[in-house]
Amino acid sequence: MKTFKLGGVHPAANKLSAGAPIEVAAVPAMVAIPMAQNLGAPSKAIVAKGDKVKVGTVIGEPGGFLSSYVHSSVSGTVDKVDVVEDATGKKVPAVFIKVEGDEWEESINRTKEIVRDIKLDKQQIIDKVKEMGIVGMGGATFPTQVKLTPPPTAKPECVIINAVECEPYLTSDHSLMLAHPEEICIGVQILEKAMGVNKAYIGIEANKPDAIELMRKTVAAGYPEIEVVPLQLKYPQGGEKQLINAVIGREVPSGGLPIATGALVQNVGTAFAVYEAVQKNKPLIERIVTVTGKSVAKPSNFLARLGVPIADLIAAAGGLPEDTGKVISGGPMMGKAMPDTNSYMVKGCSGILVMKNEEARRREAGPCIKCAKCVHACPMGLQPNFLSRYSELNMLAEAEEERIYDCIECGSCQFSCPANRPLLDWIRQGKPKVMGILRQRAADAKAKADAEKAAKEAAAAK
Protein backbone atom coordinates (compact mmCIF):
# COMPACT_ATOMS: atom_id res chain seq x y z
CA MET A 1 0.00 0.00 0.00
CA LYS A 2 1.22 3.49 -0.83
CA THR A 3 2.39 6.16 1.58
CA PHE A 4 4.71 9.18 1.66
CA LYS A 5 8.43 8.58 1.69
CA LEU A 6 9.85 10.42 4.70
CA GLY A 7 9.04 10.32 8.39
CA GLY A 8 5.56 10.20 9.85
CA VAL A 9 4.12 9.02 13.16
CA HIS A 10 1.26 6.82 14.35
CA PRO A 11 -0.93 8.65 16.86
CA ALA A 12 -3.77 6.59 18.33
CA ALA A 13 -6.68 6.96 15.88
CA ASN A 14 -9.46 7.31 18.49
CA LYS A 15 -12.13 7.57 15.80
CA LEU A 16 -14.87 7.46 18.41
CA SER A 17 -17.53 8.90 16.14
CA ALA A 18 -16.80 6.58 13.20
CA GLY A 19 -20.07 5.00 12.16
CA ALA A 20 -22.18 7.64 13.87
CA PRO A 21 -24.72 8.82 11.29
CA ILE A 22 -24.80 12.44 10.18
CA GLU A 23 -27.31 14.27 12.37
CA VAL A 24 -28.77 17.61 11.40
CA ALA A 25 -27.89 20.04 14.17
CA ALA A 26 -30.76 22.19 15.45
CA VAL A 27 -30.90 25.78 14.22
CA PRO A 28 -30.72 28.11 17.24
CA ALA A 29 -32.72 31.34 17.74
CA MET A 30 -29.72 33.44 16.81
CA VAL A 31 -26.63 32.74 14.70
CA ALA A 32 -23.45 34.79 14.39
CA ILE A 33 -21.73 34.34 11.06
CA PRO A 34 -18.08 35.47 11.21
CA MET A 35 -16.78 37.49 8.25
CA ALA A 36 -13.33 35.92 8.44
CA GLN A 37 -13.88 32.31 7.41
CA ASN A 38 -11.22 31.93 4.76
CA LEU A 39 -7.48 32.12 4.47
CA GLY A 40 -6.57 35.57 3.16
CA ALA A 41 -8.49 38.82 3.41
CA PRO A 42 -11.67 38.78 5.53
CA SER A 43 -15.02 39.30 3.82
CA LYS A 44 -16.92 42.62 4.02
CA ALA A 45 -20.39 42.54 5.53
CA ILE A 46 -22.97 43.99 3.08
CA VAL A 47 -26.04 43.77 5.29
CA ALA A 48 -27.16 46.02 8.11
CA LYS A 49 -29.44 45.79 11.12
CA GLY A 50 -33.01 45.13 10.08
CA ASP A 51 -32.24 43.55 6.69
CA LYS A 52 -34.28 40.46 5.89
CA VAL A 53 -32.25 37.51 4.68
CA LYS A 54 -33.03 34.00 3.47
CA VAL A 55 -30.90 30.87 3.58
CA GLY A 56 -28.33 31.50 0.86
CA THR A 57 -28.56 35.30 0.73
CA VAL A 58 -25.14 36.93 0.29
CA ILE A 59 -24.21 38.76 3.47
CA GLY A 60 -20.46 39.20 2.90
CA GLU A 61 -18.40 40.07 -0.15
CA PRO A 62 -14.77 39.18 -0.82
CA GLY A 63 -12.45 41.70 0.81
CA GLY A 64 -9.69 41.13 -1.71
CA PHE A 65 -8.39 38.71 -4.35
CA LEU A 66 -7.74 35.96 -1.82
CA SER A 67 -11.13 36.12 -0.14
CA SER A 68 -14.65 34.68 -0.31
CA TYR A 69 -18.35 35.38 -0.35
CA VAL A 70 -20.26 34.58 2.82
CA HIS A 71 -23.94 33.61 2.72
CA SER A 72 -26.61 33.57 5.36
CA SER A 73 -27.12 30.10 6.76
CA VAL A 74 -30.61 30.91 8.12
CA SER A 75 -33.64 33.00 7.24
CA GLY A 76 -34.55 35.92 9.44
CA THR A 77 -33.59 39.48 10.31
CA VAL A 78 -30.10 40.88 10.74
CA ASP A 79 -29.85 41.83 14.40
CA LYS A 80 -26.47 43.54 14.38
CA VAL A 81 -23.04 43.49 12.82
CA ASP A 82 -20.70 43.11 15.74
CA VAL A 83 -17.43 41.56 16.79
CA VAL A 84 -17.05 37.97 17.98
CA GLU A 85 -14.08 35.89 19.02
CA ASP A 86 -12.98 33.18 16.59
CA ALA A 87 -11.69 29.79 17.70
CA THR A 88 -8.31 31.23 18.67
CA GLY A 89 -9.80 34.13 20.61
CA LYS A 90 -9.05 36.67 17.89
CA LYS A 91 -11.74 39.34 17.42
CA VAL A 92 -13.45 39.25 14.01
CA PRO A 93 -16.55 41.00 12.64
CA ALA A 94 -19.69 38.87 12.43
CA VAL A 95 -23.27 39.24 11.25
CA PHE A 96 -25.84 38.30 13.91
CA ILE A 97 -29.09 37.02 12.44
CA LYS A 98 -32.30 36.43 14.39
CA VAL A 99 -33.76 33.23 12.99
CA GLU A 100 -37.33 33.34 11.61
CA GLY A 101 -38.55 30.20 9.91
CA ASP A 102 -36.42 28.38 7.33
CA GLU A 103 -36.95 30.07 4.01
CA TRP A 104 -34.37 29.36 1.31
CA GLU A 105 -33.40 31.38 -1.75
CA GLU A 106 -35.56 30.14 -4.67
CA SER A 107 -32.49 29.56 -6.87
CA ILE A 108 -31.29 26.72 -4.65
CA ASN A 109 -32.26 23.21 -5.75
CA ARG A 110 -33.26 21.56 -2.48
CA THR A 111 -34.40 18.22 -3.93
CA LYS A 112 -32.62 15.02 -3.03
CA GLU A 113 -32.16 14.06 -6.67
CA ILE A 114 -28.57 13.65 -7.87
CA VAL A 115 -27.73 15.93 -10.81
CA ARG A 116 -25.15 14.13 -12.95
CA ASP A 117 -24.96 16.24 -16.09
CA ILE A 118 -22.34 19.01 -15.74
CA LYS A 119 -23.69 21.90 -17.86
CA LEU A 120 -21.25 24.66 -16.92
CA ASP A 121 -17.96 25.17 -18.75
CA LYS A 122 -14.54 25.66 -17.17
CA GLN A 123 -14.79 29.40 -16.46
CA GLN A 124 -18.44 29.19 -15.40
CA ILE A 125 -17.51 26.53 -12.85
CA ILE A 126 -14.77 28.71 -11.36
CA ASP A 127 -17.12 31.70 -11.24
CA LYS A 128 -19.83 29.60 -9.63
CA VAL A 129 -17.41 28.25 -7.01
CA LYS A 130 -16.46 31.82 -6.15
CA GLU A 131 -20.06 33.03 -6.08
CA MET A 132 -21.05 30.19 -3.74
CA GLY A 133 -18.28 30.98 -1.25
CA ILE A 134 -16.46 27.65 -1.49
CA VAL A 135 -13.20 27.34 0.45
CA GLY A 136 -10.91 24.42 1.27
CA MET A 137 -12.89 22.33 3.74
CA GLY A 138 -9.96 20.43 5.23
CA GLY A 139 -9.26 23.28 7.58
CA ALA A 140 -6.93 25.53 5.58
CA THR A 141 -9.94 27.39 4.07
CA PHE A 142 -8.02 28.51 0.99
CA PRO A 143 -10.55 30.14 -1.39
CA THR A 144 -11.23 27.40 -3.94
CA GLN A 145 -11.66 29.65 -7.00
CA VAL A 146 -8.08 30.87 -6.48
CA LYS A 147 -6.76 27.35 -6.24
CA LEU A 148 -8.64 26.42 -9.41
CA THR A 149 -6.86 29.25 -11.25
CA PRO A 150 -3.21 28.18 -11.17
CA PRO A 151 -0.47 30.35 -12.72
CA PRO A 152 -0.35 30.01 -16.54
CA THR A 153 2.99 28.19 -16.38
CA ALA A 154 1.41 25.29 -14.44
CA LYS A 155 0.57 22.11 -16.30
CA PRO A 156 -2.24 20.38 -14.42
CA GLU A 157 -2.37 16.63 -14.97
CA CYS A 158 -4.69 15.30 -12.32
CA VAL A 159 -6.92 16.05 -9.37
CA ILE A 160 -6.14 14.39 -6.04
CA ILE A 161 -8.96 14.24 -3.54
CA ASN A 162 -7.85 14.33 0.06
CA ALA A 163 -10.06 11.87 1.93
CA VAL A 164 -7.20 10.76 4.17
CA GLU A 165 -8.49 12.29 7.40
CA CYS A 166 -5.22 11.44 9.16
CA GLU A 167 -6.02 13.58 12.18
CA PRO A 168 -7.03 11.36 15.09
CA TYR A 169 -10.65 11.59 16.30
CA LEU A 170 -12.08 13.35 13.22
CA THR A 171 -14.66 11.48 11.15
CA SER A 172 -16.44 14.21 9.21
CA ASP A 173 -14.88 13.26 5.85
CA HIS A 174 -15.46 9.58 6.57
CA SER A 175 -19.15 10.07 7.32
CA LEU A 176 -19.50 12.33 4.26
CA MET A 177 -18.13 9.59 1.98
CA LEU A 178 -20.49 7.02 3.43
CA ALA A 179 -23.47 9.33 2.95
CA HIS A 180 -22.78 10.95 -0.41
CA PRO A 181 -20.37 8.86 -2.51
CA GLU A 182 -21.87 9.70 -5.89
CA GLU A 183 -22.16 13.42 -5.22
CA ILE A 184 -18.47 13.40 -4.32
CA CYS A 185 -17.61 11.68 -7.61
CA ILE A 186 -19.60 14.28 -9.57
CA GLY A 187 -17.82 17.00 -7.58
CA VAL A 188 -14.52 15.43 -8.59
CA GLN A 189 -15.59 15.48 -12.25
CA ILE A 190 -16.46 19.16 -11.91
CA LEU A 191 -13.02 19.85 -10.46
CA GLU A 192 -11.43 17.90 -13.34
CA LYS A 193 -13.38 19.97 -15.83
CA ALA A 194 -12.34 23.19 -14.09
CA MET A 195 -8.70 22.16 -14.29
CA GLY A 196 -8.95 20.74 -17.83
CA VAL A 197 -7.69 17.31 -16.77
CA ASN A 198 -9.10 13.84 -17.16
CA LYS A 199 -7.62 11.92 -14.25
CA ALA A 200 -8.44 11.95 -10.56
CA TYR A 201 -7.37 10.02 -7.47
CA ILE A 202 -9.19 9.73 -4.17
CA GLY A 203 -6.69 9.04 -1.38
CA ILE A 204 -8.21 7.26 1.62
CA GLU A 205 -6.33 5.83 4.60
CA ALA A 206 -6.69 2.11 5.20
CA ASN A 207 -8.51 2.55 8.51
CA LYS A 208 -11.68 3.39 6.54
CA PRO A 209 -12.26 0.13 4.62
CA ASP A 210 -16.01 0.77 4.31
CA ALA A 211 -15.39 4.14 2.66
CA ILE A 212 -12.75 2.66 0.35
CA GLU A 213 -15.13 -0.08 -0.73
CA LEU A 214 -18.11 2.23 -1.20
CA MET A 215 -16.11 4.79 -3.17
CA ARG A 216 -14.66 2.00 -5.35
CA LYS A 217 -18.13 0.65 -6.04
CA THR A 218 -19.42 4.11 -6.90
CA VAL A 219 -16.46 4.85 -9.16
CA ALA A 220 -16.87 1.50 -10.93
CA ALA A 221 -20.48 2.37 -11.73
CA GLY A 222 -19.62 5.21 -14.09
CA TYR A 223 -16.56 7.29 -13.18
CA PRO A 224 -13.76 5.40 -14.95
CA GLU A 225 -11.20 8.21 -14.78
CA ILE A 226 -11.37 8.33 -10.97
CA GLU A 227 -9.09 5.98 -9.06
CA VAL A 228 -9.55 5.19 -5.38
CA VAL A 229 -6.13 4.88 -3.74
CA PRO A 230 -5.99 3.18 -0.33
CA LEU A 231 -3.10 4.58 1.71
CA GLN A 232 -1.10 3.07 4.54
CA LEU A 233 -2.05 4.55 7.90
CA LYS A 234 0.45 7.28 8.77
CA TYR A 235 0.26 10.86 9.97
CA PRO A 236 0.55 13.51 8.34
CA GLN A 237 -0.67 11.83 5.15
CA GLY A 238 -3.39 14.46 4.76
CA GLY A 239 -0.76 17.16 4.36
CA GLU A 240 -0.90 18.36 0.77
CA LYS A 241 2.77 17.62 0.05
CA GLN A 242 2.64 14.21 1.72
CA LEU A 243 -0.57 13.24 -0.08
CA ILE A 244 0.80 14.13 -3.52
CA ASN A 245 3.94 12.18 -2.68
CA ALA A 246 1.94 9.18 -1.48
CA VAL A 247 -0.46 9.05 -4.43
CA ILE A 248 1.66 9.94 -7.48
CA GLY A 249 5.16 9.70 -6.00
CA ARG A 250 6.19 13.25 -6.85
CA GLU A 251 7.62 15.87 -4.52
CA VAL A 252 6.42 19.44 -4.29
CA PRO A 253 9.62 21.45 -4.74
CA SER A 254 10.70 23.40 -1.68
CA GLY A 255 9.22 26.89 -1.92
CA GLY A 256 7.10 25.94 -4.96
CA LEU A 257 3.37 25.46 -5.43
CA PRO A 258 1.86 21.96 -5.19
CA ILE A 259 0.54 22.37 -8.75
CA ALA A 260 4.17 22.18 -9.91
CA THR A 261 3.76 18.40 -9.58
CA GLY A 262 0.77 18.53 -11.93
CA ALA A 263 -1.63 17.66 -9.14
CA LEU A 264 -4.45 19.78 -7.77
CA VAL A 265 -5.36 18.65 -4.27
CA GLN A 266 -8.85 19.26 -2.91
CA ASN A 267 -10.44 17.98 0.25
CA VAL A 268 -13.30 15.51 -0.17
CA GLY A 269 -15.57 17.96 1.66
CA THR A 270 -14.64 20.61 -0.87
CA ALA A 271 -15.51 18.24 -3.72
CA PHE A 272 -18.93 17.75 -2.17
CA ALA A 273 -19.39 21.50 -1.63
CA VAL A 274 -18.39 22.10 -5.26
CA TYR A 275 -21.00 19.56 -6.37
CA GLU A 276 -23.70 21.31 -4.36
CA ALA A 277 -22.60 24.73 -5.58
CA VAL A 278 -22.36 23.88 -9.28
CA GLN A 279 -25.16 21.32 -9.66
CA LYS A 280 -27.59 22.53 -7.03
CA ASN A 281 -26.74 26.22 -6.87
CA LYS A 282 -26.30 25.84 -3.13
CA PRO A 283 -23.85 28.16 -1.38
CA LEU A 284 -21.60 26.97 1.43
CA ILE A 285 -23.92 27.47 4.40
CA GLU A 286 -23.40 24.28 6.34
CA ARG A 287 -20.81 21.54 6.83
CA ILE A 288 -20.23 18.29 8.62
CA VAL A 289 -18.44 18.65 11.94
CA THR A 290 -17.30 15.92 14.32
CA VAL A 291 -17.91 16.64 17.99
CA THR A 292 -15.90 14.13 19.96
CA GLY A 293 -13.59 13.32 22.84
CA LYS A 294 -13.02 10.50 25.31
CA SER A 295 -15.21 12.20 27.90
CA VAL A 296 -17.97 13.26 25.48
CA ALA A 297 -21.19 11.33 26.14
CA LYS A 298 -22.21 10.93 22.51
CA PRO A 299 -19.43 11.48 19.97
CA SER A 300 -21.31 12.69 16.88
CA ASN A 301 -21.12 13.90 13.31
CA PHE A 302 -23.36 16.92 12.86
CA LEU A 303 -24.48 18.70 9.72
CA ALA A 304 -24.30 22.19 11.21
CA ARG A 305 -25.18 25.58 9.77
CA LEU A 306 -22.44 28.19 9.80
CA GLY A 307 -22.78 30.60 12.72
CA VAL A 308 -24.22 28.06 15.14
CA PRO A 309 -22.65 28.50 18.61
CA ILE A 310 -19.97 25.86 19.28
CA ALA A 311 -21.42 25.44 22.77
CA ASP A 312 -24.75 24.33 21.20
CA LEU A 313 -22.99 21.60 19.23
CA ILE A 314 -21.15 20.36 22.32
CA ALA A 315 -24.47 20.37 24.20
CA ALA A 316 -26.02 18.26 21.43
CA ALA A 317 -23.25 15.71 21.86
CA GLY A 318 -24.01 15.38 25.55
CA GLY A 319 -22.65 18.60 26.98
CA LEU A 320 -19.26 19.79 28.16
CA PRO A 321 -18.02 17.29 30.77
CA GLU A 322 -17.04 18.51 34.22
CA ASP A 323 -13.34 17.63 33.94
CA THR A 324 -12.76 19.30 30.57
CA GLY A 325 -9.28 20.75 30.27
CA LYS A 326 -9.12 21.73 26.63
CA VAL A 327 -11.45 22.21 23.68
CA ILE A 328 -9.85 22.05 20.26
CA SER A 329 -11.12 23.28 16.93
CA GLY A 330 -9.90 20.58 14.53
CA GLY A 331 -7.89 17.49 15.38
CA PRO A 332 -5.38 16.92 18.18
CA MET A 333 -2.29 17.11 15.98
CA MET A 334 -2.87 20.45 14.23
CA GLY A 335 -6.08 21.84 15.72
CA LYS A 336 -6.32 25.07 17.66
CA ALA A 337 -7.07 25.12 21.36
CA MET A 338 -10.01 27.42 22.04
CA PRO A 339 -9.92 29.77 25.04
CA ASP A 340 -13.64 29.11 25.63
CA THR A 341 -16.64 27.63 23.81
CA ASN A 342 -18.13 31.00 22.87
CA SER A 343 -17.09 30.96 19.22
CA TYR A 344 -19.25 30.03 16.24
CA MET A 345 -19.30 27.42 13.52
CA VAL A 346 -17.19 28.39 10.48
CA LYS A 347 -16.41 26.86 7.08
CA GLY A 348 -13.06 25.42 8.19
CA CYS A 349 -14.21 23.73 11.38
CA SER A 350 -14.03 19.99 10.73
CA GLY A 351 -14.13 18.94 14.36
CA ILE A 352 -14.55 19.98 17.96
CA LEU A 353 -12.46 17.85 20.26
CA VAL A 354 -13.02 17.90 24.00
CA MET A 355 -10.06 16.76 26.10
CA LYS A 356 -10.07 15.83 29.75
CA ASN A 357 -7.93 17.78 32.17
CA GLU A 358 -5.37 15.01 32.46
CA GLU A 359 -5.09 14.68 28.67
CA ALA A 360 -4.79 18.42 28.22
CA ARG A 361 -1.68 18.94 30.29
CA ARG A 362 1.78 18.64 28.88
CA ARG A 363 4.35 16.72 30.86
CA GLU A 364 7.41 18.59 32.03
CA ALA A 365 10.19 18.87 29.46
CA GLY A 366 13.53 17.20 30.14
CA PRO A 367 16.92 17.60 28.51
CA CYS A 368 17.29 16.56 24.86
CA ILE A 369 18.92 13.13 24.79
CA LYS A 370 19.60 13.41 21.06
CA CYS A 371 17.69 10.21 20.36
CA ALA A 372 16.83 11.54 16.87
CA LYS A 373 13.22 10.38 17.09
CA CYS A 374 12.17 13.85 15.88
CA VAL A 375 14.51 13.53 12.89
CA HIS A 376 12.99 10.16 12.00
CA ALA A 377 9.46 11.54 12.49
CA CYS A 378 9.86 14.66 10.33
CA PRO A 379 8.02 14.19 6.99
CA MET A 380 10.02 17.06 5.46
CA GLY A 381 13.46 15.63 6.20
CA LEU A 382 14.32 18.35 8.69
CA GLN A 383 16.14 18.08 12.01
CA PRO A 384 13.60 19.53 14.45
CA ASN A 385 15.94 19.32 17.43
CA PHE A 386 18.35 21.74 15.79
CA LEU A 387 15.59 23.97 14.42
CA SER A 388 14.06 24.27 17.85
CA ARG A 389 17.40 25.06 19.45
CA TYR A 390 18.32 27.60 16.78
CA SER A 391 14.95 29.33 17.21
CA GLU A 392 15.38 29.36 20.96
CA LEU A 393 18.82 30.96 20.65
CA ASN A 394 17.72 33.24 17.80
CA MET A 395 20.38 31.70 15.51
CA LEU A 396 18.46 32.58 12.37
CA ALA A 397 21.23 32.00 9.82
CA GLU A 398 21.64 28.45 11.10
CA ALA A 399 17.87 27.96 11.17
CA GLU A 400 17.71 29.05 7.54
CA GLU A 401 20.52 26.68 6.60
CA GLU A 402 18.55 23.88 8.28
CA ARG A 403 15.54 24.88 6.13
CA ILE A 404 13.18 25.99 8.88
CA TYR A 405 10.98 27.49 6.14
CA ASP A 406 10.15 23.96 4.89
CA CYS A 407 8.47 23.05 8.20
CA ILE A 408 4.77 22.24 7.70
CA GLU A 409 4.08 22.44 11.45
CA CYS A 410 2.53 18.97 11.53
CA GLY A 411 3.77 18.37 15.08
CA SER A 412 5.21 14.90 14.45
CA CYS A 413 8.49 15.91 16.12
CA GLN A 414 6.95 17.16 19.32
CA PHE A 415 4.57 14.19 19.37
CA SER A 416 7.45 11.73 19.33
CA CYS A 417 9.90 13.52 21.66
CA PRO A 418 10.60 11.32 24.71
CA ALA A 419 11.84 14.34 26.63
CA ASN A 420 8.55 16.20 25.95
CA ARG A 421 10.42 19.13 24.52
CA PRO A 422 8.18 21.85 23.00
CA LEU A 423 9.99 21.55 19.68
CA LEU A 424 7.24 22.96 17.48
CA ASP A 425 6.53 25.86 19.87
CA TRP A 426 10.09 27.03 19.34
CA ILE A 427 10.11 26.34 15.61
CA ARG A 428 6.98 28.48 15.29
CA GLN A 429 8.91 31.33 16.89
CA GLY A 430 11.83 31.11 14.50
CA LYS A 431 10.05 30.27 11.24
CA PRO A 432 8.29 33.63 10.67
CA LYS A 433 11.52 35.48 11.47
CA VAL A 434 13.40 33.50 8.83
CA MET A 435 10.53 33.88 6.35
CA GLY A 436 10.68 37.64 6.96
CA ILE A 437 14.40 37.68 6.23
CA LEU A 438 13.84 35.69 3.02
CA ARG A 439 11.09 38.06 1.87
CA GLN A 440 13.24 41.11 2.66
CA ARG A 441 16.15 39.61 0.77
CA ALA A 442 13.95 38.89 -2.26
CA ALA A 443 12.53 42.43 -2.14
CA ASP A 444 16.03 43.92 -1.88
CA ALA A 445 17.26 41.83 -4.79
CA LYS A 446 14.28 42.91 -6.89
CA ALA A 447 14.77 46.59 -6.00
CA LYS A 448 18.45 46.32 -6.91
CA ALA A 449 17.67 44.63 -10.23
CA ASP A 450 15.03 47.28 -11.02
CA ALA A 451 17.45 50.10 -10.22
CA GLU A 452 20.12 48.56 -12.42
CA LYS A 453 17.66 48.11 -15.24
CA ALA A 454 16.47 51.72 -14.92
CA ALA A 455 20.07 52.95 -14.93
CA LYS A 456 20.83 50.89 -18.02
CA GLU A 457 17.78 52.23 -19.84
CA ALA A 458 18.70 55.79 -18.85
CA ALA A 459 22.20 55.21 -20.19
CA ALA A 460 20.80 53.77 -23.41
CA ALA A 461 18.49 56.78 -23.79
CA LYS A 462 21.47 59.12 -23.66
Partner 1 sequence: MLNVSLSPHVHSGNSTQKCMLQVLIGLCPALLWSFYQFGSGAVIVTLASVAFCVLFEFLITRFLLKTPSTLGDLSAIVTGVLLAFNVPSNLPIWIIAIGALVAIGVGKMAFGGLGCNIFNPALVGRVFLLIAYPVQMTTWPTQAGYADVETGATPLALIGQYINGVANVQLPEIMDCLVGQTGGSLGEVSACALILGGIYMLVRKTITWHIPVAILVSAFVFAFLFFGFDATIAVEELLCGGMMLGAIFMATDYVSSPMNNRSQLIYGCCIGFLTIVIRRYGAYPEGMSFAILIMNAFTPLLNKYVKPTRFGVVKK
Sites for partner 1 among residues 326-345 (CB under 8 A): 326-328, 332-341
Contacts of 397 (CB under 8 A, 6+ apart): none
Select from 39-47, 64-72, 104-112, 366-374 the region that touches partner 1 (CB under 8 A): 366-374
CB of 70 or CB of 248, closer to partner 1: 248
Select from 26-34, 148-156, 301-309, 369-377 the region that touches partner 1 (CB under 8 A): 369-377
Residues 21-80 touching partner 1, rule: CB under 8 A, are none
Among 63, 262, 318, 325, binds partner 1 (CB under 8 A): 325
Least separation in angstroms between residue 366's CB and partner 1 is: 6
Among 80, 90, 110, 370, binds partner 1 (CB under 8 A): 370
Instruction: Say whether residue 382 binds partner 1 (CB under 8 A).
Output: yes
Least separation in angstroms between residue 357's CB and partner 1 is: 8
Instruction: Say whether residue 163 binds partner 1 (CB under 8 A).
Output: no
Residues 238-257 touching partner 1, rule: CB under 8 A, are 241, 245, 251-254, 256
Other C-beta atoms lying within 10 Å of the C-beta of residue 88? 12
Select from 134-142, 156-164, 305-313, 383-391 the region that touches partner 1 (CB under 8 A): 383-391
Select from 19-27, 128-136, 265-273, 379-387 the region that touches partner 1 (CB under 8 A): 379-387
Least separation in angstroms between residue 228's CB and partner 1 is: 25
CB of 147 or CB of 389, closer to partner 1: 389
CB of 107 or CB of 254, closer to partner 1: 254
Instruction: Say whether residue 139 binds partner 1 (CB under 8 A).
Output: no
- The widest CA-to-CA distance across the chain, in whole angstroms, is 81
- Report, in this order, helix, strand and coil percent for the chain, each rounded to 5: 35, 20, 45
For helices 423-461 and 384-392, what crossing angle results, to 10°? 80
Amino acid at residue number 212? I
Instruction: Say whether residue 363 binds partner 1 (CB under 8 A).
Output: yes
Q: Residues 108, 72: contact at Cβ < 8 Å?
A: no
CA distances from 328 to 83, 353, 360 (A): 21, 5, 10
End-to-end CA distance of the chain: 67
Residues 385-424 touching partner 1, rule: CB under 8 A, are 385-386, 402-403, 406, 409, 411-412, 414-420, 424
Other C-beta atoms lying within 10 Å of the C-beta of residue 155? 12
Strands 351-356 and 286-292: parallel
Instruction: Say whether residue 97 binds partner 1 (CB under 8 A).
Output: no
The SS3 of residue 375 is: helix
CB of 6 or CB of 120, closer to partner 1: 6
CB of 31 or CB of 246, closer to partner 1: 246
CB contact burial 302-330 (16+ within 10 A = b; e otherwise): bbbbbbbbbbbbbebbbebbeebebbbbb
CA distances from 44 to 67, 285, 305 (A): 10, 17, 20
